[in-house]
Amino acid sequence: MAILAPDSTTTIPFSSNGHQDTLLELNPFLIAQRQLAEAVEILELDDATHEMLRWPMREFKFVFPVKMDDGSTRVFHGYRVQYNDARGPAKGGLRFHVQETLDTVRALAAWMTWKTAVVDIPLGGGKGGVTCNPKELSRSELERLSRGYIRRVADFIGPHNDVPAPDVYTNPQIMAWMLDEYEAISRQHLPGVITGKPIALGGSQGRADATARGGILTLREAARTLGMELQGATTAIQGYGNAGAFGHKLGAELLGLKVVAASDSRGGIYNPHGLDHDALGQWKQRTGSVVHFPGAEAVSNEELLELDVTVLMPAALESVITGHNAARVQAKIIAELANGPTTPEADHILHDKGAYVIPDFLCNAGGVTVSYFEQVQNAYNLYWTAAEVHKLLEAKMVTAYHSVREMAERMTVHNRLAAYLVSVDRVAAVMKLRGWV
């Protein structure tokens, strides 16, 4: 029996010494704790409240076996973190990723807590995942992996306590397998236990492009705030998965952006005359990557971040803009479709040089917002049109953007800290009402 072990995740005591720390930059949970500490200090929250908000309320680490196509068995490491459910059931995606660790999941669950709070929906924050390389697994192996994961967490999730959804390298089909397994275990029809499902299984119209659509809406509002014209504005997208590809499509259609660079895990491409979304999407579907797209020159993921463009969309993984490269980032607006792409050191550098950052848990909150709409539709067994979903999403995202903008202006802080101030204050207030602190 082979064992697939995760990367080591040593939890290091928190320190807010304010100095650039390579270890901090590499550990997303330490970054999340440090970002929280800044907000707690400004909000003057008591020590007990801070301690409650610094750590997950519950976390599950487990192993489970999966039969492979060749008859062998592999043991995978899985995680589910329920960070805070003061405002409602935990909510958050599931990742299948070779670099998934407990600290990564903790950080993502924390950011989900602030994300649901900043858009003011009645949910908490959670996250989960499996340490694996899904690109090496067949369709049948992915199905057995998905069902095996749900068998381990079935006792701890449900429409009223924790609702998973897709994330990196998971998709509606994987959610469908997970839903089916959960319903087989519970012997009930409970579509609201999983969101991001196929439409035929109770998924919501507008969910597929929701993360990108929410980001494009906040980008539109940011441009209005700055008095900036986005028609023809050059744009680079790091990470051409679901969020990045839809960011390209909707950015061009709704705002007139000219995407000149894009990348994925294999590398990047650049064409100063612009990249056509339909042609690039077809190329990636056919070849598996954006690299070698006809008419474009090669750039690395690192070089893409430093291109002279108006808008940069980090849409891949955590900690790609750091204290080491932030000074070379030339974009005027950074719309964070990824979770945690910018470290605390980089935030201060970008703010000092005048770059306008739309922080991740505001910019990419469209996904969880439409997942919430999906839960509501499942509960009522009444489903909305795409136009209705888009209208409701726009209202939520615009309101959230301006609550953060107003906080940033009032407190004279950068946008990420302002988003934390809005979110943490909302979560802390409910915790106090409940008598937890």
Q: How far apart are CA 414 and CA 198, in angstroms?
A: 38
**CA of 101: how far to CAs of 165, 168, 249, in Å?**
18, 14, 32
Q: For the chain, where do the domains classified as CATH 3.40.50.720 start and end?
A: 210-363
Contact 42, 411 (CB under 8 A): yes
Q: What is the pLDDT of residues 381-408, one digit of tens each?
A: 999 999 999 999 999 999 999 999 999 9
Place of tokens 């192996």: 141
Strands 267-270 and 125-131: unpaired
Q: What is the pLDDT of residues 414-426, one digit of tens each?
A: 999 999 999 999 9
* Burial class of 376 by CB neighbour count within 10 A (0 to 12, 13 to 18, 19+): middle
Residues in the chain predicted with pLDDT less than 50, given as ranges, are 1-21
Catalytic residues: 127
Total-model pTM? 0.90
Cβ neighbours, 10 Å, residue 246:
23
**Letter string b/e over residues 394-421, b meaning 16 or more CB atoms within 10 A of that residue's CB:** eebbeebbebbbebbeeeebbbbbbbbb
For 210-363, CATH gives 3.40.50.720
Q: What are phi and psi for residue 23, nearest 5 degrees?
A: -60, -40
Q: What are phi and psi for residue 38, nearest 5 degrees?
A: -60, -45
Q: For the chain, where do the domains classified as CATH 3.40.50.10860 start and end?
A: 1-7+58-191
Helices (H) and strands (E) in the chain, counts: 15, 13
Q: What is the pLDDT of residues 312-344, one digit of tens each?
A: 999 997 889 999 999 999 999 999 999 889 998
Q: How far apart are CA 247 and CA 253, in angstroms?
A: 10
Element (H or E) spanning 287, and its range? Answer: helix 277-287
pLDDT at 317: 79
Fold of 1-7+58-191: Rossmann fold (3.40.50)
pLDDT at 231: 97
pLDDT at 8: 37
DSSP category for residue 112: H
Contact 259, 277 (CB under 8 A): yes
HSE-up of 248 (CA within 13 Å, CB side)? 24
DSSP category for residue 342: B
Contact 52, 430 (CB under 8 A): no
Q: How far apart are CA 241 and CA 134, in angstroms?
A: 14
Contact 70, 140 (CB under 8 A): no
pLDDT at 319: 85
* Burial class of 116 by CB neighbour count within 10 A (0 to 12, 13 to 18, 19+): buried
Strands 73-84 and 58-67: antiparallel
DSSP output for 316-335: S-S--B-TTTGGG---SEEE
Q: How far apart are CA 114 and CA 343, in angstroms?
A: 17
